[in-house]
Amino acid sequence: MASKLWEKNFEVNKEIEKFTVGRDRELDLFLAKHDVLGSMAHITMLERIGLLTAEELHQLLAELKQIYALAESGAFEIEDGVEDVHSQVELMLTRKLGYIGKKIHSGRSRNDQVLLDLKLFTRQQLKEIASDVKVLFEELIAQSNRYKDVLMPGYTHLQVAMPSSFGLWFGAYAESLVDDMLFLQAAFRQTNRNPLGSAAGYGSSFPLNRQLTTDLLGFDSMNYNVVYAQMGRGKMERNVAFALAGLAGTISKLAYDACLFNSQNFGFVKLPNECTTGSSIMPHKKNPDVFELTRAKCNKIQALPQQIILIMNNLPCGYFRDLQIIKEVFLPAFQEIKDCLQMTAYIINKIQVNERILDDSRYDNMFSVEEVNRLAAEGMPFRDAYKKVGLDIEAGTFKPCKQVNHTHEGSIGNLCNDRIVELMDQVWSGFNFTRMEEAEKNLLAAE
């Protein structure tokens, strides 16, 4: 059985070890390839400052690439008795290269290792999420343009209110995603700063070249103050969680709308059959299970910032084992939000719209405001026009004109979807994922 990196001359109680390690072996698999990348950058820097020879670096890089390939393929494992991914990688290097493998930890602590791993993992996940958001955005814009002339009721207080359109409905969620992407971009920028070299939170007496590791890993900059770098544990996760929660809020609301509009009492849309399920006793049922689960998953994600805050909010500066528990709620959240985004994009692409909603007379009164505005435009005082139309409705004599002519920006007849697309393009270009992608590619290609 492997010994612990920190183990001295006494054996740890097995129950205590089980309690303290917790789910780290399982959750650290999320971080494995990122831990290897961080080690590759770190040892490249160690060679530059004279703590490794060129030959030692060459051997270590070759072996680390093999471990990276294992992690990429899903074959990387953390063995029983090994605490975490950092220990497993060092153990594998030591088995193959002997004493050389023991040199990679110089100038580094598991504190800044896990900080680095989490940042590398998170920025990759944010890139994938941003890509999924863009796909959903494009589906919403396409449907908004396709159905821009199809009217539907708008509601306030769940009461039929005024004319809306499917162009507005789809387009509203598209623009909401633009704002969500702004939060994602802010989270990405805060994440994309290098903590490596802060060691246990107080730096190192080795002459580390932190700018070199920053460049090698494609970070925008470093967390300069080593104490603040350590304080970033939990803070980064909290800020990212708020960005994910904002996005989840948009998707949850869209899912709720779609479930409501799909119901027989509305009949505005029809969801794809493969995204619904039947009843065990009611043969007519088609339940919107995919969107119901999407709504629940997104509501759970909206609780994520509070979970993280409650774990970290009464800790002073410095490292504490409490922070380990954040992994349990944080790491799995990315796949959940990606699943929800992908399912939503699939449904929006295949959703069928009822183009004859307004044939139903129950929606006639929603044109009352249009009639009030018409009379006011012809010269009747607004309050008099309002009273006249109200009395006509009460008397049952109101005859709606269902031709709507809204022209101002963002209205039924002027959706401004081209402007919304421009906004999204501006936000997308602000991420600058190319720097991190090229840096990681170059690091893996190094000999």
**pLDDT band, very low/low/confident/very high, at 314 (cuts 50, 70, 90):** confident
Q: What integer is the mean pLDDT of 231-244?
A: 96
Better-predicted residue by pLDDT, 280 or 437: 437
Whether 419 is in a domain gets the answer no
Structure tokens at 398: 């109101």
In 3D space, the residue among 374, 324, 352 whose CA is nearest the CA of residue 146 turns out to be 352
pLDDT for the residue 202: 95
Reduced to 3 states (helix: H, G, I; strand: E, B; else coil), residue 332 is: coil
pLDDT for the residue 3: 53
Read off the CATH number of the domain in which 54 is found: 1.10.275.10
CB of 271 closer than 8 Å to CB of 153: no
What pLDDT digit, counting tens, does each position of 240-297 carry? 999 999 999 999 999 999 999 999 999 999 999 888 787 677 767 788 899 999 999 9
Cα-based torsion angle of the residue sequence 149, 155, 161, 167 in order, rounded to the nearest 10 degrees: -10
Reduced to 3 states (helix: H, G, I; strand: E, B; else coil), residue 445 is: helix
* pLDDT over 90 (residue 313): no
Q: What integer is the mean pLDDT of 289-308?
A: 96
Q: What integer is the mean pLDDT of 345-350?
A: 96
Domain that holds residue 37: 14-103
- Give me the helices (H) in 313-379, please: 326-330, 333-350, 368-377
Task: Describe the chain by its helix, strand, coil percentages, rounded to 5.
Answer: 65, 5, 30
What pLDDT digit, counting tens, does each position of 327-338 carry? 999 999 999 999
How open is the CA angle 277-280-286, to the nearest 5 degrees?
30
Whether 379 and 317 map to the same domain: the answer is: no
Whether 296 and 338 map to the same domain: the answer is: yes
Whether 142 and 27 map to the same domain: the answer is: no
pLDDT for the residue 70: 96
pTM greater than 0.75 (yes/no): yes
C-alpha–C-alpha distance, residues 412 and 150, integer Å? 9
pLDDT for the residue 281: 78
Side chain identity at 230, as an amino acid letter?
Q
Chain center to CA of 300: 13
What pLDDT digit, counting tens, does each position of 109-168 carry? 999 999 999 999 999 999 999 999 999 999 999 999 999 999 999 999 999 999 999 999
Whether 47 and 168 map to the same domain: the answer is: no
In 3D space, the residue among 226, 222, 224, 219 whose CA is nearest the CA of residue 205 turns out to be 226
Reduced to 3 states (helix: H, G, I; strand: E, B; else coil), residue 38 is: helix
Structure tokens at 381: 């005082």
Q: What per-residue string of b and e applies to 381-408 under the rule 16 or more CB within 10 Å gives b?
A: eeeebbeebeeeeeeeebebeeebeeee
Whether 437 is in a domain gets the answer no
Whether 191 and 307 map to the same domain: the answer is: yes
pLDDT for the residue 6: 43
Whether 255 and 137 map to the same domain: the answer is: yes
Read off the CATH number of the domain in which 128 is found: 1.20.200.10
Q: Which residues contact 30 (CB under 8 A, 6 or more apart)?
A: 121, 331
Q: Which of 103, 133, 162 is the last residue of a domain?
A: 103
Whether 258 and 338 map to the same domain: the answer is: yes
pLDDT for the residue 279: 65
Q: Which of 313, 335, 355 is the last residue of a domain?
A: 355
Whether 425 is in a domain gets the answer no
pLDDT for the residue 26: 81
**pLDDT band, very low/low/confident/very high, at 12 (cuts 50, 70, 90):** low
pLDDT for the residue 231: 94
**pLDDT band, very low/low/confident/very high, at 1 (cuts 50, 70, 90):** very low
Widest CA span in the chain: 95
Whether 430 is in a domain gets the answer no
pLDDT for the residue 10: 53
**pLDDT band, very low/low/confident/very high, at 9 (cuts 50, 70, 90):** low
pLDDT for the residue 369: 92
**pLDDT band, very low/low/confident/very high, at 7 (cuts 50, 70, 90):** low
Q: What integer is the mean pLDDT of 213-231?
A: 97
Residue 342 CB: number of other CB atoms within 10 A?
13
Whether 348 and 241 map to the same domain: the answer is: yes
Whether 350 and 387 map to the same domain: the answer is: no
* pLDDT over 60 (residue 99): yes
Whether 314 and 230 map to the same domain: the answer is: yes
CB of 351 closer than 8 Å to CB of 258: yes
Whether 168 and 261 map to the same domain: the answer is: yes
* pLDDT over 80 (residue 2): no
Computed over every residue of the chain, the mean pLDDT equals: 93
C-alpha–C-alpha distance, residues 274 and 271, integer Å? 8
Whether 262 is in a domain gets the answer yes
Domains of the chain: total = 3
C-alpha–C-alpha distance, residues 90 and 100, integer Å? 10
CB of 192 closer than 8 Å to CB of 437: no
pLDDT for the residue 169: 98
CB of 319 closer than 8 Å to CB of 286: no
> Residue 315, CB half-sphere, CA atoms under 13 Å: how many?
19
Better-predicted residue by pLDDT, 397 or 23: 397
Whether 1 is in a domain gets the answer no
CB of 142 closer than 8 Å to CB of 384: no
Whether 82 is in a domain gets the answer yes
C-alpha–C-alpha distance, residues 192 and 125, integer Å? 12
Whether 5 is in a domain gets the answer no
Q: Which of 355, 384, 418 is the last residue of a domain?
A: 355
Whether 270 and 169 map to the same domain: the answer is: yes
